[in-house]
Homo-oligomer: A and B are copies of this chain.
Amino acid sequence: MPKKRTAFFVSDRTAITVEKLGRSLLSQFDGIQFVQVTLPFVDSIEKARDTVRQINEASMADGERPIVFSTLILPAVHNIIEQSDALILDLFESFIVPLENELGMPSSHAVGKSHGTGLHYTERMDAVNYAMNHDDGGITRDLGSAQIILVGVSRCGKTPTCLYLALQFGILSANYPLVPEDFSDGVLPSALKHHRKRIYGLTIQPERLAQIRAERKPNSRYASLENCRHEIAQAEKLMKQANIPFLDVTTISVEEIATTLLHLTGLKRSGM
């Protein structure tokens, strides 16, 4: 039986960053099963005490002390959490002291500076609206303002990628499906003709596409492996002819697709 340990992700904010980094670190230890508990908004003495209680209970139950990943900007909260029976890895504390030394000034210890609704927030929200309006070939008349236009066969991952580019990076992205009619014409859909430099393709292995489509329309011609093979071959042929760079997304996540596209285009991340 694999060993079991409890891991906590604790923050006085959303805990999104500490959870991601913590999970990434834990994934480096294969033989251990981690029960993972995320506690966001631990921003008062009372909540800090309650968190310590939860950590100590897990310690008793497991017979091993939990691992606590934290980003606690509030010193009062941090001091309480520190007294729990756990290995505490505080991201903030670990880096803020070397930064203060390097920069020759004290940090502000102010909560609420990382996400916020300030700089770039409106851009990101506008980009979400743009992606919604330009999903699946919608409102093609103003593709001109798109920074990235994604093409590919139905269900290859265009929509989640556009939404991720918008929400995470504030990039204006549109997507346009390549459908069987385009293959018989043998040329790019006319709506795309004037935007060739901003077009990127996604492709995927036929087996995986058939699986995804079958969840939506089981036993359909649309989802059959034979049809998926045909559509993908035709789409790739079209993209090669039109000199559109494309990416095989079979084994990569939407985060990786979006980051790779940014990298290819040289676009700046607005970021959070």
Q: Within residues 80 to 102 of chain A, which ones have a CB less than 8 A from any CB in chain B? A: 87, 89, 91-92, 94-96, 98-99, 102
Tally of A interface residues using CB under 8 Å: 75
Q: Is the CB of B168 within 8 A of A16?
A: yes
In the assembled complex, A74 has its CB within 8 A of some CB on chain B: no
Q: Is the CB of B17 within 8 A of A20?
A: yes
In the docked arrangement, what's the CA distance between A17 and B15, Å? 12
What is the distance, in angstroms, from A57's C-beta to the closest C-beta of chain B?
18
Q: Within 8 Å CB of A110, what residues of B?
A: 28
What is the distance, in angstroms, from A54's C-beta to the closest C-beta of chain B?
14
Q: Is the CB of B109 within 8 A of A20?
A: no
A115 to chain B: closest residue by CB: B253
In the docked arrangement, what's the CA distance between A98 and B260, Å? 32
A92 to chain B: closest residue by CB: B25
Q: Within 8 Å CB of A137, what residues of B?
A: none
In the assembled complex, A184 has its CB within 8 A of some CB on chain B: no
Q: Interface with B: A141-149, A159-167, A186-194, A224-232, which one?
A: A159-167
In the assembled complex, A67 has its CB within 8 A of some CB on chain B: yes
In this complex, the member of A110, A121, A157, A256 whose beta carbon has the largest number of chain B beta carbons within 10 angstroms is: A256
Q: Within 8 Å CB of A164, what residues of B?
A: 167
Q: Within residues 101 to 116 of chain A, which ones have a CB less than 8 A from any CB in chain B? A: 102-103, 105, 107-110, 113-116
Q: Is the CB of B269 within 8 A of A128?
A: no
Q: Is the CB of B167 within 8 A of A29?
A: no
Q: Within 8 Å CB of A115, what residues of B?
A: 253, 255-256
Q: Within 8 Å CB of A94, what residues of B?
A: 94-95
Q: What are 21 pairs between A and B in contact, CB < 8 Å? A: A13-B256, A16-B255, A16-B259, A19-B269, A25-B95, A27-B114, A28-B107, A28-B109, A28-B110, A29-B105, A29-B108, A32-B103, A87-B98, A87-B102, A94-B94, A124-B254, A125-B157, A128-B163, A160-B167, A163-B163, A167-B254
What residues make up the interface of A, taking CB atoms closer than 8 Å to B?
5, 13-17, 19-21, 23-32, 38, 40-41, 67, 69, 71, 73, 87, 89, 91-92, 94-96, 98-99, 102-103, 105, 107-110, 113-117, 121, 124-126, 128-129, 132, 135, 157, 159-160, 163-164, 167-168, 215, 251-256, 259-260, 263, 269, 271-272
